[in-house]
A and B are shown apart, each in its own frame.
Chain A
Amino acid sequence: AQSVTQLGSHVSVSEGALVLLRCNYSSSVPPYLFWYVQYPNQGLQLLLKYTTGATLVKGINGFEAEFKKSETSFHLTKPSAHMSDAAEYFCAVGKGGGADGLTFGKGTHLIIQP
């Protein structure tokens, strides 16, 4: 069975500050890990993914995440927050492909303070 835990349902940072959204997972097989962003009244947009290889993954909009197997973590970071980053962020784990479906965390609402 797979599961995802996102620490903090709400995270507030100042514009220009570091963004850190935490994600821990459990998986019985080598995981495929994803971060998605959801803006109000929209679907999910893929930010980045880890499948195999390099553990530091760069995504869109300046976001990156590092896969740490020993810590079963896949935290999302961005060096400098922008007002447009305010959204809901979801971490997800899969076994690869779409066949088994993704297991999502509960989401973290990112608030950017001016």
Chain B
Amino acid sequence: KAGVTQTPRYLIKTRGQQVTLSCSPISGHRSVSWYQQTPGQGLQFLFEYFSETQRNKGNFPGRFSGRQFSNSRSEMNVSTLELGDSALYLCASSLEGGNTIYFGEGSWLTVV
């Protein structure tokens, strides 16, 4: 079956703009989580959604937000982009109560 799908794969934005990234989880998976990966900070947990509700949030400013739709697809939004937001954003999905998280290929965001 299809894996976790993220779009777009690559994008370039200007400081001050906002961006929306999309994630379609594995069929049947209702939990979606987001991670930011940078060379300096490594992989950091952003937030996790289940049944359209945010259940957990990492230590990121309010400019980072997300949502989940009734079909479990998720979007994350970053407003007022800063240069430091340049990163690989990874989406992951898992079954409710499952202990394995499957990752997508990621969305590469460059802020100039």
- Which of A10-18, A41-49, A61-69, A73-81 contacts the other chain? A41-49
Q: How large is the interface on B (under 10, 10 to 19, 20 to 34, 35 or more residues)?
A: 20 to 34
| B70 CB–A CB distance under 8 Å | no
Q: Given the complex, which residues of B lie within 8 Å of A36, measured CB to CB?
A: 103
Main secondary structure of the interface of B (DSSP, over half): strand
In the assembled complex, the Cα of A103 lies from the Cα of B32 at a distance in Å of 16
A residues 58-101 touching B (CB-CB < 8 Å): 90, 92, 94, 96-101
Given A49-B100, A104-B42, A98 contacting B94 (CB threshold 8 A): yes
Q: Given the complex, which residues of B lie within 8 Å of A111, measured CB to CB?
A: none
Q: Which residues of A contact B (CB under 8 A)?
A: 32, 34, 36, 42-46, 49, 51, 90, 92, 94, 96-107
Q: Which residues of B contact A (CB under 8 A)?
A: 4, 6, 31-33, 35, 42-45, 48, 50, 55-56, 58, 90, 92-94, 96-106
What would 13 more interface pairs be, CB under 8 Å, given A44-B92, A94-B99, A99-B48? A36-B103, A43-B4, A44-B90, A44-B103, A46-B100, A46-B102, A96-B99, A97-B96, A98-B32, A98-B33, A98-B94, A101-B56, A105-B42
